[in-house]
Amino acid sequence: MEKLTKMEKVLKKAAIVENVSVRMEISNAKPTRNSIKLKQNQKSESSGDSCDYNGLTYTDGETFNSDDGCNTCRCTDGSVDCTRDVCKDCVNNGITYESEESYASPDGCNRCTCINGQIKCSSKKCKSCKVKGVGSFPSGSIFPGEEKCDTCTCENGKVECKRRKCSNCYYNGKKYKHQETFRYRDDCNRCECLYGYVECTRYNCPDNCNVNGPLIKHGEMFPSTDGIKECWCKDGVVECVEFKCPGMSSCVVNGTVFQSEEAFLSENNDKCMCKYGEVRCMGLRCDGKDGGLDGKG
C-alpha cells in the first residue's frame, strides 16, 4: 500500500471536514417559499376527513339534517357535530309520542313516526278482509262478530275477533240492556249501554232554568209568580215581559219572542206567524201550492 506523505494527509483531512460542513449547511438551511407552499399543499390533501352518518358519507364542512328531524349536523375533520334543540312531541288519539318514536298505524299494515311534532306514515296498500255472508271490510276497521257482542278487527287481510259478554248497565237506579239507548240527565244528550258500560254524547246543550225549585226546559214558556208577566227560559236565563192587551199578545218559540202579526220560519221551514199570542204555520203541499194556516203552536 502506497504511503501518503505528510502533506497529502493534511489535504485529505481538510477535504473531509469541508464535505461534512456542506452537509450540515444543507440540513440546517431555512425552507424557501417554494418548499413552504409544497408542504401546505400536502397538508390540505391529507386533512379534512369525511364523515359517515346513518349510512351516508358527507364531505368535510358539509351540513345536513339530523335523523331526529329538528336538529342540524356538520361534518368537521371526520367528526359529526349536531345541535341539541329539543324536538316537539306528537299527540294522536290522546297518546303522546316523542320525536323519532314510531308506532303501528290504525290500518294494521303501515307504521307512523313522530318527526318534530309532525306524524308521517308509510303508504303501503293494505289488504281488506272478506267475511262470508257479511261483506268486505277495509284494513283497520272494526265490525261485529258472529256472536252478538263479539268485536272483530281487520288487520291487513287478517280477521281477529274478541269475545265479549253482553252485560247490562245500571244508570241512575235503572237497568238497561246491551245496546239500549236512553236520554242523559240534561234531557239533551243521549246514552247507550255497550258491554256493561254507559257511553254518552257530549254536545253543548242549551241550559235549563231553575225557577224556585221547578226545572224549566229551554224554550218553555210559563207565567210569572205575580201573574202579570209571561216568562220563558232561554239558555238558562229567565226572560219576562208584561202581558199585553187581548189581541196584542206576543209569541215565544224556542226562547225567541215574536210580536203579534210578525212572520217567521219554523225549524221545518214552514211559514209561521204570531197571531194574538198563538203561532200559526202554513205548510207546503206536495203540489207546490201553499196550504192553509194549520194553527200549529
The C-alpha atoms of residue 52 and residue 113 are separated, in whole angstroms, by: 24
77: nearest Cα among 105, 96, 58, 95: 58
CA 166 to chain centre: 33
Beta bridge partners of 138: none
Give the pLDDT score at 44: 28
51: nearest Cα among 70, 42, 68, 64: 64
Q: List phi, psi (to 5°) of 113.
A: -135, 135
Residue partners of 100: CB distance under 8 A and separation at least 6: 67, 68, 69, 87, 113, 114, 115
Give the pLDDT score at 164: 75
Q: Are 85 and 98 in contact (CB under 8 A)?
A: no
121: nearest Cα among 131, 111, 109: 111
> Taking the domains of the chain in order of start, what are their residue ranges?
47-82, 90-121, 129-162, 169-200, 209-293
Rg, Å, the chain Cα set: 46
Give the pLDDT score at 223: 78
Single-letter amino acid code for the residue at 277? G
Q: What stretches in the chain show pLDDT beneath 70?
A: 1-48, 148, 227, 243-249, 283-297
Single-letter amino acid code for the residue at 82? C
Give the pLDDT score at 81: 92
The C-alpha atoms of residue 143 and residue 126 are separated, in whole angstroms, by: 17
Give the pLDDT score at 64: 93
What angle (nearest 5°) sits at the alpha carbon of residue 42, between those of residues 36 and 43? 90
Cell of 151: 268485536
The C-alpha atoms of residue 34 and residue 171 are separated, in whole angstroms, by: 97
Q: What is the pLDDT of residues 194-204, one digit of tens each?
A: 878 899 988 77
Q: What is the pLDDT of residues 89-136, one digit of tens each?
A: 999 888 899 888 889 888 878 899 998 888 999 988 888 888 887 788
